[in-house]
Structure 1
Amino acid sequence: MKLLCSAPSPYSRLVRIIVRYLELEVEEVSTNPFDNGDELLRGNPLGQIPCLFLSDGAALYDSEVISRYLDVTHAKSQLFGAPGSDWHLQCQFSLIKGLIDSAVKLRQEQMREDEGVRSPFWTARYEQALLRGIRELERQGAGNRSRIDASAMALVCLLDYVDFRHPSLDWRKLAPATALWFEEVRELPVFAQTRPG
């Protein structure tokens, strides 16, 4: 298998963590999606990463689709759980993924500043979504988990990305228990080896 990915991307990172966690043989190819390379566009017409090419040449894209595929085919659904087994956990994963979306969109707004078109409205909206969502994860006890599953992996991707791209966003005050958990778990090899920056 071959994975088109980018080290700073939290979406790519989730898949890269799962690959390492499951000890899979996957060739990782650093890819800039803005280059619109032929291979990426052939695999994903949206021109987005990550994109996983299977051994038969077929391509899978979207981090969640790839992650669930790897979980079902190589981990017997241990990372996401069997379909319908824990709706609360599935909802929590969606919240974390939505927060990653907000963090990436906030970064995109920051990049638009050079063009003079950064929107204060959208900047504030994404920041507030991040803070509300992280506060909700704290309320749900997201930092109390004892095992590494897909939600834990996505949460590490989110928090590391916020620290990497939005260091002024002081989320730790809102989520002290989550922050303690994060400081411990982020040093595990699968996370340390894939950390952006």
Structure 2
Amino acid sequence: MKKIITILTFVVLFAFAIVMLNQPGIEQMYAKQDHLHAQKNTGLKQVQVENIKQAAETNDEDDITHEEIVKLTDTFMELLVQEIDDHYKVEQFDTKEELLNAFEPYVVKEAVQPYIDYYYEEKEDGLYIVPTETPPWFEKKEDYKKESEDNKVRITQSNENELYGPYTIEIVFEKVDGTWKIANISHE
């Protein structure tokens, strides 16, 4: 009886491993991480951070530009998908709090906290990413609706992909101390 249970356990674990490895999009996550690693090595990430700050400071209007929207949404996703080792341990941050602080110049805490809680697990020896797909997200080359009101801009975009099918994402940007930040994210 013990042999049968042991064999069944191995079969189930093996099947689970195959399903996880063949899950669509895992390659995309690794490709994104490779892209981030390349950016880190060439210093492009720091240039991008400076461009976001400059764009926010030079925008005298009360309306966010398309370029600022793209920079903030791209930066959000680049920070969300961290570089990891072979065991999914995050290389750059040890705690959720450290990762949360990295988002601070671009996203209000309440908007990013649910993503960090969902995609990351904190253990005694560090921070680990939960291997899964990235959320449905803003597509910079697609049209979107933009509504402005009192230092806030709401964009709404409808997209479709193989993983999520049709979805609508809504992102609210808020001007905080003269700088645009992502203030809320929702999708259906």
Q: Under a length normalisation based on structure 2, what TM-score does the superposition of the two structures give? A: 0.30
Choose between structure 1 and 2: higher strand proportion.
2
TM-score if structure 1 supplies the norm length? 0.29
Larger Rg over CA atoms: 2
User: Going by fraction, where is helix more abundant, 1 or 2?
Assistant: 1
